[in-house]
Chains A and B, each alone.
Chain A
Amino acid sequence: GAGVSQSPSNKVTEKGKDVELRCDPISGHTALYWYRQSLGQGLEFLIYFQGNSAPDKSGLPSDRFSAERTGGSVSTLTIQRTQQEDSAVYLCASRRGTNNEKLFFGSGTQLSVL
């Protein structure tokens, strides 16, 4: 597609449930990032994938968070046993390669944990 696509755009879930958020990066982009923005906060780095290298998971806030990227394209961010503090906008971004500094963002998934 022309841009980074994220689904769903909105997700409401109950505390304790698992959720999966999907990101479809721009075709040909080898690097993929997940960020989240909590209310009134900046963009918090979660995880970064680059090609076939091991992902940089240093931003994941707890072991309830995990992400995978299948076939070097689509990525899924999974949050297990959701908590109210997980409520945020989850943003996915991609970029072409290692020497291009621009990130292209999707529109995000607004996650609300009740």
Chain B
Amino acid sequence: DQQVKQNSPSLSVQEGRISILNCDYTNSMFDYFLWYKKYPAEGPTFLISISSIKDKNEDGRFTVFLNKSAKHLSLHIVPSQPGDSAVYFCAASGVDFNKFYFGSGTKLNVKP
């Protein structure tokens, strides 16, 4: 039973345009949401997070939006760069941070 879902396995975007990666979750008790980025042969690296008390968090070119009523979050990358090409994982945890549930990932390809 997958509690965090990323329904788009891949996304292709032109350099300079916006990339929007989506994530849905089923557990209303999730309190923190994170995005991780993974290059081939490397471990995932933390990108940005958002608490359930917020609906937006911004860090440079990266913005995460949270819609609690829809149980949906999205990651916006503006402008997209070829170096952003990677697999992006959405993750969620409860208030105790003990368990992190990951989506299946979205492979982003930013074309020069």
A residues contacting B by CB (< 8 A) are 4, 33, 35, 41-43, 45, 48, 50, 56, 91, 93, 95, 98-108
Q: With both chains docked as a complex, state the minimum distance between the C-beta of B30 and any C-beta of chain A, in angstroms.
A: 11
Contact with A along B1-45 (1 / 0, CB 8 A): 010101000000000000000000000000010101000011111
Q: Are A101 and B49 in contact (CB-based, < 8 A)?
A: yes
Contacts of B91 in A (CB 8 A): 43, 103
A101-B49, A102-B34, A107-B43 given as contacts; is B100 within 8 A of A42 (CB)?
Answer: no
B80-112 interface with A by 8 A CB criterion = 89, 91, 93, 96-105
B residues contacting A by CB (< 8 A) are 2, 4, 6, 32, 34, 36, 41-46, 49, 89, 91, 93, 96-105
In the complex, A93→B34 CA distance in Å? 15
In addition to A43-B102, A103-B91, 5 A-B residue pairs with Cβ atoms within 8 Å of each other are A4-B43, A42-B6, A45-B99, A50-B98, A95-B97
Q: Are A43 and B97 in contact (CB-based, < 8 A)?
A: no
Q: With both chains docked as a complex, state the minimum distance between the C-beta of A10 and any C-beta of chain B, in angstroms.
A: 10
Contacts of A41 in B (CB 8 A): 104
Q: Are B43 and A108 in contact (CB-based, < 8 A)?
A: yes
Contacts of A35 in B (CB 8 A): 102
Q: Are A100 and B97 in contact (CB-based, < 8 A)?
A: yes
Q: With both chains docked as a complex, state the minimum distance between the C-beta of A52 and any C-beta of chain B, in angstroms.
A: 15
Contacts of A4 in B (CB 8 A): 43
A-B contact pairs, 25 of them (CB 8 A): A33-B100, A41-B104, A42-B4, A42-B6, A42-B89, A42-B102, A42-B103, A42-B104, A42-B105, A43-B89, A45-B100, A45-B101, A56-B98, A91-B44, A99-B97, A101-B32, A101-B49, A101-B93, A101-B97, A102-B49, A103-B34, A103-B46, A105-B36, A107-B42, A108-B43
Q: Are A98 and B32 in contact (CB-based, < 8 A)?
A: no
Q: Which of B6, B89, B100 is most buried by chain A, counting CB atoms within 10 A of its CB?
A: B100
Q: Are A101 and B41 in contact (CB-based, < 8 A)?
A: no
A45-B100, A45-B101, A56-B99 given as contacts; is B44 within 8 A of A105 (CB)?
Answer: yes
Q: With both chains docked as a complex, state the minimum distance between the C-beta of A61 and any C-beta of chain B, in angstroms.
A: 15
